[in-house]
Chains A and B, each alone.
Chain A
Amino acid sequence: MTTAPSPMFDTDELVINMGPQHPSTHGVLRLVLKLDGEKVKDVDVVMGYVHRGIEKLSENRDWTQIILLTDRMDYVAAATNNLGYCETVEKLMEIEVPRRARYIRTILAELQRIASHCLWLGTHAMDIGAMTVFLYAFRERELILDLFEEYCGARLTYNSMRVGGLPLDIPTGWDEKVRAFCDVMEAKVPEYEELLTNNRIWLERTRGIGVISAEDAIGLGLCGPPLRGSAVYRDVRKDEPYAAYDEFDFEVPLGTRGDTYDRYLIRLEEFRQSIRIIRQALDGLPEGPVMGKVPRLLKPKAGETYHAIESPKGELGYFIVSDGRATNPYRFRVRPPSFCNLQGLRPLVIGHLVADVVALIGTIDVVLGEVDR
């Protein structure tokens, strides 16, 4: 207690290397923490451990092969990545997608959002020490994986969309299963809430932790739930509607304080909104083809475009340049929401304790496959 004022004892910082192998850095994120006691003075975020050069690779694959690569970015929300890419190419080529395909895409994207949020909830709660929520959330995610398996045969990397529509129509009876899943999920969300929302320890661990103001959040380029947690009304589904979102009725939950607890509440509410969207889409599912009129050889005219969708993590943008001659994009760029959100980690973490670092990694919900690409 008397050591600090005395010049005899210098107060060195303790530098701790958190990751790339660490149970709660969600993959291979590495944080170099400078600690004063247990308080974080500074942090350097190091990434790139799963950099596979997807952008470079995509510039050397043809337009359809790229869909497969997009699966490997945010691998817990592969269908959303497919959707964003296909829509960008469709925008570039001005292909009209049949309404039925857009509806099914919406259903897939929302199922994917629920699955991704389930994974987030499980790991986030696990990081804070609530281990049971983890298994509950994975139990429901499993149901979604089953649905995807039935739709496209894969459980993680779906390759489930094509430029111009969908490769397959939904199997018979699939829509009923999705409906049944919605009922299950609707009953399970209160179960999660019961374990966490009003739990004193959970409140103490998340309230007032990692507060970020709306201005800072916009300035830092945060997107998705972290941005909405700071009470910024920003949801690509509403602002720049894609797929069939303009035909559905849903709300965008907003936080008030911009802390970890608000971001938690927002994602839980998004479970409900996603269920709502899926139900509307199933109710209004139009008949018709699932594939639009697409040339056999995809070869967009020279031009470039940026198109964004709302992935579970935030604004997932694709910037694609076509030179009009090759059967591959000249420039393929992904605006990864996890990457941009991860940039917000440093201001969030500084001044908090080591224990909060893991909570904050959890709350911004990064997938390193997407950060590093």
Chain B
Amino acid sequence: MIDTIVIPLLKIAVLVNGVLVAVTFTVLMERKVIAWAQSRLGPMRVGPYGILQAIVDPIKLILKEDITPAKADKWMFTLAPILSLVPALVVFAVVPFGGDELFYVTDINVGLLFIIAVTSIGVYGIILAGWASNSKYPLLASLRASAQLISYEIAVTMTLVSVILTAGTLSMIGIVEAQQEAGFWFFFVQPVAFVLVLIGGLAETNRAPFDMPEAEQELTGGFHTEYSGMRFSMFFLAEYANMLVISAVVVVLFWGGWLRPFPNVAALSFLDFIPSWVWFFGKMFGFLYLFIWIRATLPRYRYDQLMRLGWKILIPIAIGNIVVTAVVKVLL
């Protein structure tokens, strides 16, 4: 009883809260990193170096008035942010944050597919938000978003097939263990796939340079234009939670999850004193930093260019990658 119900529930509670707290600090990190990139200081007032800003921001958002536009579809308008946030939290169930059983909620044998499937539900939040607002800019944005998410989902999923071929399993833990057995991170055998997943991940999380659905300068904030207060912050949470998901997935698939570099080279075993979860979170942090760095640097793609990139470049490369991987796998 304790093993099957209490412990998983405790894990889930810790995980959900952990993700939410992590999100607030990711926001702070984004503000700080972008500020440094732009020769500013960023938030400095609340707490030492503005660290407590991470707590103050959500409080501010929660205390704001929650407005529902008069002509909005009230049910959908309320449902949309929930639909957006819940999948983003659910996928963490299969992410292994460390080698020990303590560090993941469950290990299902189709873990990777589970992540893809559940994140694909998140798009409803965006579409319904745009539709339910009964406003033109959000509607345009949600159309953009849905087209973008669907096309990049195809590219990313196809790319993941080649990783699955390499690992021979769909389980997240199995993939990391496969890397341990192989003795190298899959980044070194699947660099193309890594780049594709990274680009596709940026697009699926609506991060710059693919942030068309919320392009502030074009669509005045996109699908969440009409949102405020708590419901707005749910979209916000979902976006950053998705960022965490993508970082975690990339770490698991290509950067050996909780493994240290070259896990079978004995000469590096002095690194073993570092706990596995530190490796994992360190790598995740690196990718979060990369995402933020990209946002500070690059201009935004145009919508049709984005679609062209997805369909005409990423998908063919992904298919080619599958073929090459399969051939190599058969030959070896």
Contact = CB atoms under 8 A, between A and B. Distances in A.
A and B interact physically: yes
Interface of A: 14, 16-17, 22-24, 38, 125-132, 134-136, 139, 195-196, 199, 201-202, 204-205, 353-358
B220 A129 contact: no
B39 A201 contact: no
B298 A130 contact: yes
B108 interface: no
B217 interface: yes
Contacts of A356: 302
A355 B219 CA distance: 9
A202 B299 contact: yes
A130 B297 CA distance: 6
A355 B297 contact: no
13 contacts: A16-B137, A17-B136, A38-B303, A130-B299, A131-B34, A132-B296, A135-B40, A136-B38, A199-B299, A201-B301, A205-B302, A353-B302, A356-B302
Given A38-B303, A132-B37, A132-B38, A355 B298 contact: no
B272 interface: no
Interface string B147-176: 000000000000000000000000000000
Contacts of B38: 131-132, 134-136
Contact of A128 (B34, B137, B299): B299
Contacts of A125: 299
Interface stretch (B86-94, B115-123, B208-216): B208-216
A127 B39 CA distance: 20
B304 interface: yes
Interface residues of B, number: 30
A342 B277 CA distance: 57
A131 B298 CA distance: 8
B61 interface: no
A196 B217 contact: no
Contacts of A24: 217-218
B140 A128 contact: no
Contact of B215 (A14, A129, A199): A129
B64 interface: no
A128 B215 CA distance: 9
B300 interface: yes
A201 B298 contact: yes
Contacts of A16: 136-137, 140
B137 A204 contact: no
B215 A132 contact: no
A132 B208 CA distance: 12
B4 interface: no
Given A136-B38, A205-B301, A355-B218, A129 B136 contact: no
A201 B215 contact: no
A136 B39 contact: yes
Given A23-B220, A24-B218, A355-B215, A201 B209 contact: yes
A129 B208 contact: yes
Instruction: In the A-B complex, list the 3 residue pairs whose CB atoms are closest, starting with the nearest.
Output: A129-B300, A130-B299, A135-B38
A358 B140 CA distance: 15
Of A131, A199, A356, A357, chain B has the most CB atoms within 10 Å of the CB of A131
A60 B8 CA distance: 80
Contacts of B301: 201, 204-205
Nearest to B216: A23
Given A129-B208, A132-B296, A355-B212, 12 more contacts: A14-B140, A17-B136, A22-B220, A38-B303, A129-B217, A129-B300, A130-B297, A130-B298, A201-B299, A205-B301, A355-B300, A358-B218
B302 to A, nearest CB: 5
A354 B304 contact: no
B303 A355 contact: yes
Interface string B30-61: 00001001111000000000000000000000
Contacts of A199: 298-299
A128 B303 contact: no
Contact of A204 (B40, B144, B217, B305): B305
B51 to A, nearest CB: 23
A29 B220 CA distance: 15
A31 to B, nearest CB: 12
A335 to B, nearest CB: 30
Contacts of A129: 208-209, 211, 215, 217, 298-300
A131 B296 contact: yes
A22 B218 CA distance: 8
A139 B217 CA distance: 21
Contacts of A38: 140, 144, 303-304
B217 A195 contact: no
A131 B299 CA distance: 7
Of A24, A128, A196, A202, chain B has the most CB atoms within 10 Å of the CB of A128
Of A125, A353, A357, chain B has the most CB atoms within 10 Å of the CB of A353
B39 A354 contact: no
Interface string B125-147: 00000000000110010001000
A17 B303 CA distance: 20
